[in-house]
Structure 1
Amino acid sequence: MGNLFSRSFDTEVREALLNNDGATAAAKIQEYLEIQINIPLNIAVTGETGSGKSTLINAIRRVGKNDERAAPIGEEETTMEVTPYPHPNFPNVTFWDLPGIGTMNFPAAKYLKLVEFERFDFFIIISDRFRENDVKLAKEIQKKKMKFYFVRSKIDDNIRDKRTSQREFNEERTLTQIRETCIQSLQDQGFESPQVFLVSSRELHLYDFPLLAETLERELPDLKREAFQLAMPNTSLEMIDRKKKAFKSKIKYVALLSAAVAGVPVPGLSVAVDLSLLVGVVTRYVFAFGLDISSLKKISHYTGVPYEELKAIIESPLAATVVTPALLLNLLVQTASLVVLMAAEEGSRLIPILGIPASMAFSFLTIYKALNIFLEVLADDARRVFEKTGLNRKG
């Protein structure tokens, strides 16, 4: 579906540009980019009381438990109804905290109907010990031909307890035992070949969360995959690279939009649109890589690395600040090759007949090159922060 849409879009834009209809081309490209940005992704998180649903939702969204946007946490049932928690920086991605299956208001037999299962893209079934109701739910989801994933929570608690109680503690052996116990429990209840992900909400970079994220990315449709990918916290260097690759694949479309606008003969329009475009795109880069002030402070608190130390290793002036048109314009004019391209774009407008096509080409090259430069340095900053915090060390 995504590929067919892309081919159709490419054809329509090409025809509009060949007909010198920059306004139509710009409108189609703008629509395409907005679809990419706003594609909804709805993730259902369910499990029994005290299983750690809310903690996981907050951890993935990088929201502290005292934040007003946080899902409430408690040992008693705190989720009395289906509750949405949009991602703070990517509101098209919503985590839904579902009441525990088998409660008085949500009996197992009617659970999927009551939570309106059709709205969700996949289910995460989270537990610290998988029980009969978890298996019932998984089987019902299977019947609906929907995706679900078993997540064994609170692994850090288990590891800590075993480390203090066992003389010859071996973490790998302990994790294997926990995984095998979960799989055996699910098989005993009639579930064949289950895959179980061992996760700690306090330390998402450890254990199986990176594998869970990779699995979800692989099994989601293209547009949903990218939505999920960009909303995830950085739990591996590979994840940072995948985000960079996803962003890089969209640069040509943003540059095309710039070129199409440059073909509309309205004085000053091209520069204004270019700066507005850049602000939106670069801000998404900053949020996705966790380089905004709020994310950096949360990483600092989470890892114990002082915020000022994280800021000190960041090289891009676009990180740990608010991205504005003035900031971007200042950066553009500091790069000699971009200054030449911008000057060429403005100068070419004075040339009869061939001026507009030339200005469109220069506009495309300016935005294409600028975004590649900004993306490269921000991705490098994300890698430096990840390594500085020690999250690249597995234990």
Structure 2
Amino acid sequence: MSTQDRAVLEAVSSSGESTLDRATAKAKETFDQLLHVTLNIAVTGKTGSGKSSFVNALRGLSDDDEGAAPTGVTETTMKAIMYTHPTMPNVNIWDLPGIGSPNFKANKYLKEVNFKFYDFFLILNSERFMQNDIMLAKEIRKQKKDFYFVRSKIDNDISSEQRKRGFKEQKVLDEIRKDCQENLKEMKYSKVFLISSAEFWKFDFEMLKNTLLEELPAHKQSALIQAWPVCSAACLEKKIKLFKGLSWVVSLISAGVAAVPVPGVSVVCDISIVFLFLARCYFAFGLDDRSLKRLSKKVGIPLQEHRARSKLADAIQKKAITAVKLSSAVVTSAVAKDLLSLFPGVGSVVAAGLSFASTQYILREGVNELAATAREITRIAGLGTMQ
């Protein structure tokens, strides 16, 4: 049996299906979900709780970045505003007006919010959760939607308590969590996530992500994994696992092998789809300029030079790919040649087309190289040890 045939059979086996046609159909559905399933996240709560900063943190932005949600000491959100994720256009994060403010009384707020539109709600408060928060949570529950209480601005609490004699950070965190849980007893709900938008990699940011993944429908999970900023080594590993597990999908999609009903027939693959998949990895792993600049600023260590050590990551960066929408037209033959030249043994076949086996090789090696680069940057930034 040829290498080509073995590669096709490998992809079919990875799909969990029994035939090539069924595997290809599943690949198309999975690939469509990876790129196009919409996720609408609602961020709401008391005015002044830091909703806009939290929206920015979820989008991997600082408050002063271009396109960031405006923040301030006064009420800045006067209506529901949608912010698209900068590298995941199918993920929308909604900054909702603060409940209970002079402009949005609780009863009016509950009437105007389109609860069914959002996948889940994050209810923020920088102090104790109040009756309006509980009222909102009850209404969300009535609408059979999920909600999560987020106690924000934890960095401010820690900073304030540090000046006191006998300060212990964990003790402060435990006291804040207990106070919130006591306040929410009537909800019979004990999950409270302590978050700092300014230091998103600390406290419960990772725990919040894991909880969301456990409770989201399966077809929505990949969107959240891709969009969530890299806040720890564990977070990065989830992203790597996702993309490694999808190499069979891209192999079948790029080849269009449903048109090849029997083994032994040559399969020519579309390199543009392969390149776009690797570009997705690049952004999801936090290797783009925006993500690295933000992380460098936070940890005080220059990180972009470490990305440059990866020929593949450097090549993707230099092609100035600023979005990862599915559009194979953006990948020119020159870009394809540049990409193929990075993989020994396949660069010379670009004119004749890429074989299925070569495609699998590029996908495997490409994801591994980007993963290794991201792991090294995460280690240098100290995210492996931050909780």
Once the 2 structures are TM-superposed, how far is the Cα of residue 105 of structure 1 from its aligned partner? 4.7
Once the 2 structures are TM-superposed, how far is the Cα of residue 393 of structure 1 from its aligned partner? 2.9
Q: Which residue of 2 aligns with 1:321?
A: 318
Once the 2 structures are TM-superposed, how far is the Cα of residue 50 of structure 1 from its aligned partner? 0.9
Once the 2 structures are TM-superposed, how far is the Cα of residue 262 of structure 1 from its aligned partner? 9.7
Of 326, 332, 339, which aligns to 2:340?
A: 332
Bigger Cα displacement from structure 2, 370-379 vs 273-282: 273-282
| Mapped partners of 1:150, 1:116: distance in 2 | 19
Deviations along 1:152-178, whole A, 9 cap, x unmatched? 0011111111112x1111111111111
2:33 equivalent to 1:35 = yes
Unaligned runs of 5+ residues in structure 2 are 1-11, 261-266, 322-330
2:209 equivalent to 1:203 = no
CA contact (8 A) 1:262 1:363 kept: no
CA contact (8 A) 1:58 1:70 kept: yes
Change (3 A) 1:334 1:159: closer
| Mapped partners of 1:146, 1:13: distance in 2 | 38
Q: How does 1:100-249 map to 2 (within 5 A)?
A: 100-129=98-127, 130-164=129-163, 166-187=164-185, 190-249=186-245
Of 354, 361, 372, which aligns to 1:369?
A: 361
Once the 2 structures are TM-superposed, how far is the Cα of residue 313 of structure 1 from its aligned partner? 5.5
| Mapped partners of 2:105, 2:252: distance in 1 | 53
Deviations along 1:95-134, whole A, 9 cap, x unmatched? 1001111235533234344121111000000101211100
Once the 2 structures are TM-superposed, how far is the Cα of residue 303 of structure 1 from its aligned partner? 2.2
| Mapped partners of 1:263, 1:193: distance in 2 | 53
Once the 2 structures are TM-superposed, how far is the Cα of residue 309 of structure 1 from its aligned partner? 4.2
| Mapped partners of 1:315, 1:158: distance in 2 | 43
| Mapped partners of 1:156, 1:66: distance in 2 | 19
CA contact (8 A) 1:296 1:310 kept: no
Change (3 A) 1:240 1:51: same
Bigger Cα displacement from structure 2, 67-76 vs 178-187: 67-76
CA contact (8 A) 1:49 1:75 kept: no
2:148 counterpart letter in structure 1: Y
CA contact (8 A) 2:44 2:97 kept: yes
1:299 counterpart letter in structure 2: L
| Mapped partners of 2:189, 2:22: distance in 1 | 52
Change (3 A) 1:37 1:312: closer
CA contact (8 A) 1:126 1:151 kept: yes
Once the 2 structures are TM-superposed, how far is the Cα of residue 220 of structure 1 from its aligned partner? 0.6
Change (3 A) 1:248 1:103: same
Change (3 A) 1:238 1:11: closer
CA contact (8 A) 2:116 2:145 kept: no
Q: Which residue of 2 aligns with 1:281?
A: 277
Q: Which residue of 2 aligns with 1:290?
A: 286
CA contact (8 A) 1:42 1:93 kept: yes
TM-score with structure 2 length normalisation? 0.83
Once the 2 structures are TM-superposed, how far is the Cα of residue 388 of structure 1 from its aligned partner? 1.2
CA contact (8 A) 2:289 2:304 kept: no
Q: Which residue of 2 aligns with 1:84?
A: 82
Change (3 A) 1:53 1:13: farther
- Size of the aligned set, in residue pairs, is 357
| Mapped partners of 1:239, 1:99: distance in 2 | 30
1:214 counterpart letter in structure 2: N
Bigger Cα displacement from structure 2, 300-309 vs 276-285: 300-309
| Mapped partners of 1:334, 1:154: distance in 2 | 45
| Mapped partners of 1:179, 1:16: distance in 2 | 49
| Mapped partners of 1:202, 1:80: distance in 2 | 23
Seq. identity, %: 40
Once the 2 structures are TM-superposed, how far is the Cα of residue 275 of structure 1 from its aligned partner? 2.2
CA contact (8 A) 1:314 1:384 kept: no
| Mapped partners of 1:134, 1:43: distance in 2 | 17
Higher relative contact order (CA 8 A, sep 6+): 2
Q: Where has structure 1 moved over 6 Å in runs of 4 or more?
A: 9-13
Deviations along 1:62-115, whole A, 9 cap, x unmatched? 223233421110121111111100101001101100111123553323434412
Q: What is the root-mean-square deviation of aligned Cα atoms in Å? A: 3.1
Q: Which residue of 2 aligns with 1:14?
A: 20
> Which structure: greater helix fraction?
1
Once the 2 structures are TM-superposed, how far is the Cα of residue 218 of structure 1 from its aligned partner? 1.1
Bigger Cα displacement from structure 2, 223-232 vs 100-109: 100-109
Of 358, 366, 388, which aligns to 2:380?
A: 388
Q: Aligned with 2:290: secondary structure?
A: helix
Q: Aligned with 2:147: secondary structure?
A: strand
Once the 2 structures are TM-superposed, how far is the Cα of residue 282 of structure 1 from its aligned partner? 1.2
CA contact (8 A) 2:161 2:167 kept: yes
Once the 2 structures are TM-superposed, how far is the Cα of residue 263 of structure 1 from its aligned partner? 5.2
| Mapped partners of 1:32, 1:128: distance in 2 | 39
| Mapped partners of 1:78, 1:296: distance in 2 | 28
Unaligned runs of 5+ residues in structure 1 are 1-5, 18-24, 265-269, 347-358
